[in-house]
Structure 1
């Protein structure tokens, strides 16, 4: 009987801990869709844009960036995702760097997490067409269109 009581108490504690973790998970504050072309030969770059949907409004934006290091190839990246840790629209613009992710090569599907200097995080799911290899530092600058 003591074993059952101990097991039941342990199970209850795990359920409560799991509920607490779920309640503290970040909630997205906006959605984003992106289309970007990446290119490179020695010095690489990217250009494209997308739409941020925030508080019921759509905000078009442009993206561009450079990457340094070994770059070669051309690819097209399309993604949709969630935006986190943004308190107002002015925080969205900035330079984003990759925190995590693996973009698949040659027409695959990949995930990527980006963060800018304002602490805004984009969590993206996307598809890539083409092939580009990049073995250097990179970032992408986002500017809101007016």
Structure 2
């Protein structure tokens, strides 16, 4: 399932709201597969890859959710990380507040920033049964 043009435009607008220092930095391609589940408290775990300057780096991801969290899902996200100067800049904790419902298959898009200034812009498919209105954190670690 592809992101609609409205969803792509919204993601692009959010990306433009980030700092102008991004013009001096680089970007990399990112793919993540995240498994999420919970009841009130939730958790997520995943892995992926980042391709930066022709080199592929392994990524691990994990996080906690608190709020109204029910169910489980698998989300495959692809996109980019912007505003990085070196591969290690992707590492860190990305925080978000969100809500959503997935019944079967759906689409998902996120734009998140970490303390290093890296901006993740990802979109993709979510499969499962999940309802959430929560605060969440996603920690990404670079495997070198």
TM-score range, shorter chain: 0.7 to 0.9
- Aligned equivalents of 1:102, 1:54: Cα separation in 2: 31
Q: Name the structure 2 match of 1:64.
A: 62
**CA distance in structure 1 between the aligned counterparts of 2:61 and 2:79, rounded to whole angstroms:** 16
- Report how many residues are paired: 123
Q: Superposed, which structure 2 residues align to 1:100-115 within 5 Å?
A: 105-106=102-103, 107-115=105-113
Query: CA, structure 1 residues 131+95, in 2 after alignment: closer, same or farther (shift >3 Å)?
Result: same
Query: Which secondary structure does the structure 1 equivalent of 2:45 belong to?
Result: strand
The more displaced of 135-144 and 106-115 is 106-115
Task: Verify the 8 A CA contact 2:91 2:142 in the aligned structure 1.
Answer: yes
Choose which of 34, 37, 43 in structure 2 pairs with 1:36: 34
Is 1:137–2:129 an aligned residue pair? no
> Structure 2 vs 1, CA of residues 40 and 65 (structure 1 numbering), >3 Å: closer, same or farther?
same
**What is the Cα deviation at residue 134 of structure 1?**
2.0
For the structure 1 residues 140 and 77, does the alpha-carbon distance in structure 2 shift closer, same or farther, using more than 3 Å as the test?
A: same
Which stretches of structure 1, 4 residues or more, deviate above 6 A after TM superposition? 101-104
5+ long unaligned stretches in structure 2: 1-19
Aligned pairs for 1:24-103 (under 5 A) are 29-98=27-96
Of Structure 1 and Structure 2, the greater strand share is in 2
Cα distance in structure 2, aligned partners of 1:136 and 1:97: 11
Q: Could you tell me the TM-score, scaled by structure 2's length? A: 0.76
1:128 positional shift = 0.3
The 1-side partners of 2:102 and 2:124 are apart by 11
Q: Secondary structure at the match of 1:118?
A: coil
For structure 1, the 5+ residue unaligned runs are 1-23
